[in-house]
Amino acid sequence: MNGLTTSATAAISAVGFFATRLAHQTDPADLAHARATGAAPLVLDVRSAAGWAQGRIPGAVHIPLAELTERIGEHAPDLDADVVVYCWGPGCNGSTRAGLALALAGYGCVKELVGGYEYWVREGFAVVSDAGRSRQVPDPLTAPAG
């Protein structure tokens, strides 16, 4: 193969890879924007009860990962429902497992929250815990100050 063919093939592969990621992931800012504009998906927290009590995205629904497939129909009976799943953060694959479980169950509009709960908090969005509602100052490494 010549360099052009290799480059063209690599570009096509890269387009597919990045398009697929964007189709199945969202970030905290995009989720917050969707919620603010009324295009709010069902947001699922798949962490443990202790994680849920410690803090969560306001309006999220708690279904621990181990209970997801048996309980998802309570909150999303329509397989075309827009669903965003999250767990702790980039070091946790619970949301990836949840997304796979939902896709295997036939849900087609599932996205994983990039960065999970950690980056939601670090970007300064509101959270709710058993102690009440709060918001942290955005971490300048994750969101612009201001």
List the CATH number of the domain containing 115: 3.40.250.10
Other beta carbons within 10 angstroms of residue 40's beta carbon come to 13
Residue at 52 is within a domain: yes
Report which of 38, 29, 26, 30 is spatially closest to residue 109, judged by C-alpha positions.
26
The pLDDT, as a whole number, for residue 146 is 62
The pLDDT, as a whole number, for residue 62 is 98
The pLDDT, as a whole number, for residue 10 is 83
Q: Percent of the chain scored above 90 by pLDDT?
A: 82
7-11, 53-57, 64-68: least confidently modelled range: 7-11
Residue at 7 is within a domain: no
Residues 66, 97: Cα–Cα separation, whole Å: 10
Task: Quote the DSSP letter at residue 142.
Answer: T
Using DSSP, state whether 67 is helix, strand or coil.
helix
Task: Count up the domains in the chain and report the number.
Answer: 1
Report the pLDDT averaged over residues 94-101.
97
With cut-offs at 50, 70 and 90, classify the pLDDT of residue 5: low
- Alpha-helical runs (H) found in the chain: 3-24, 28-36, 49-54, 68-75, 94-104, 116-122
The model carries a pTM of 0.89
Q: Are 83 and 111 in contact (CB under 8 A)?
A: yes
Residues 59, 75: Cα–Cα separation, whole Å: 12
Task: Quote the DSSP letter at residue 85.
Answer: E
The pLDDT, as a whole number, for residue 4 is 53
User: Which residue in the block uniquely carries the two structure tokens 């999303």?
Assistant: 76
pLDDT in tens, 11-60: 888 899 999 999 999 999 999 999 999 988 999 999 999 999 999 999 99
Q: Give the structural domain span for 74.
A: 24-134
